Amino acid sequence: MGANAAIEEMFRDLVGADSVLIATHLRPDGDALGSTFGLRSYLRSLGKKADVLLTDGMPHRYLRLYTGARSSVTREQADEYALVAILDCANIQRLNIPHTLDIDYLRGRRTINIDHHAYNNIDAPKNFVCVERSSASEIVANMLLDAKAEMPRECATALLAGMMTDTGCFRFSNTKGDTLRTAGALLDRGADLERIANEVFFSKTFNCAAFEADLFNTRLKLACNGKFAYAYIDDELLKKHSFALAEDEGIIDNLRALEGVVIASLIFRNAAGEFKLSLRSKDSAYPVGPLARKFGGGGHEMAAGATLRAADFDEVEKLICREVTELLGE
């Protein structure tokens, strides 16, 4: 089945279902939220029952854009939905679902999977993975546009927000001509660009600003002759500024933006004691996707992540510095 036929079939599945449960990945970012709430808005405009499932809450910066997500669902409640749609989730380890809904359950019922990450391993009964698209939001937007669907303004706004966050406001290399044309089509359908800009990009809490300043002043390190910038977010820093890791979206891009830096990384330790590693590159000659996959992670070539098991941060630091030094040829 060709790509167009596959996504057209998924559209028919969505509009043919009277109820849809929409899921995404843990620690949802702008694209995860834009694609899921955008799809919810469209389905509800058709009179469908459609809900977004977020078990770990909504990041503060998106609270005024998106409301009404479900925080939990039992197996029996999930059974009441005719279809499950998983958006923007590359692997089963990151699924934002309760333990009662394991991957075997999802694979054994009507489930569709829409994503733009390479090496997606969800393996739902139906899958559409298009790595050429900037974001899951762009895929959903094109699905609706190609179907000539009547798109509510709320839907267009959510999808444009998702595209803007995953492309760095169309600055990153995943921005193509088609990306901008889709964004223009969403604007033509009423997407509220001013609201997106003000709520997502021009609103920062004071504790977030203080956290970022402290991170740069006390935790930022440079290696590889200034080409590698990295920082470890420890519990002391989080407690000092009452900062939640769910709010860290975009901070790594400030590291990447430093003059002379080619690769940037943010590291923190999760509740299980594992070290979560985010990686970014701004030079396609030095992709970080292969490095993340070497550590068992994934993502895109220029933006990826992984989870490491180590005794302490010193061990992680030595490992990542060694690997990045090799990648940069320093």
Statement: residue 3 has pLDDT above 80: no
Statement: residue 1 has pLDDT above 70: no
Helices within the chain (DSSP H only):
3-16, 30-45, 75-79, 103-107, 136-146, 153-166, 177-188, 193-196, 206-218, 235-240, 251-256, 289-294, 313-328
Statement: residue 330 has pLDDT above 90: no
Q: In the 8-state DSSP scheme, what is residue 273?
A: S
Global confidence as pTM: 0.91
Q: Pick the residue with more confidence: 37 or 247? A: 37
Mean pLDDT of 274-288: 96
Statement: residue 71 has pLDDT above 90: yes
* Among 37, 41, 43, residue whose Cα is nearest residue 59: 37
HSE at residue 255, side-chain half, CA atoms within 13 A, is 30
Statement: residue 63 has pLDDT above 80: yes
pLDDT at 143: 98
Give the pair of three-digit tokens for residue 121: 């391993």
Statement: residue 235 has pLDDT above 90: yes
Statement: residue 2 has pLDDT above 80: no
Mean pLDDT of 226-254: 93
Using CA atoms, how far apart are residues 22 and 108, in angstroms rounded to an integer? 16
Residues 6+ apart with CB under 8 A from 178: none
Max Cα–Cα distance, the chain, nearest Å: 58
What's the CATH number of domain 3-201, 3.90.1640.10, 3.40.50.2000, 2.60.40.790, 3.10.350.10? Answer: 3.90.1640.10
In 3-state terms, what secondary structure has residue 83?
strand
**Domain residue limits, the chain:** 3-201, 206-328
CATH number belonging to domain 206-328 = 3.10.310.30
pLDDT at 312: 95
Residues 6+ apart with CB under 8 A from 314: none
Mean pLDDT of 54-74: 95
Q: What is the pLDDT of residues 164-180, one digit of tens each?
A: 999 999 999 999 999 99
Report the sign of the C-alpha dihedral through residues 283, 289, 290, 295, in that order: positive
pLDDT at 246: 83
Percent of the chain with pLDDT over 70: 99
Q: What is the rounded average pLDDT for all residues in the chain? A: 95
Mean pLDDT of 97-105: 93
Q: What is the pLDDT of residues 126-167, one digit of tens each?
A: 999 999 999 999 999 999 999 999 999 999 999 999 999 999
Rg (CA), the chain: 20
pLDDT at 245: 87
Using CA atoms, how far apart are residues 114 and 85, in angstroms rounded to an integer? 8
HSE at residue 145, side-chain half, CA atoms within 13 A, is 20
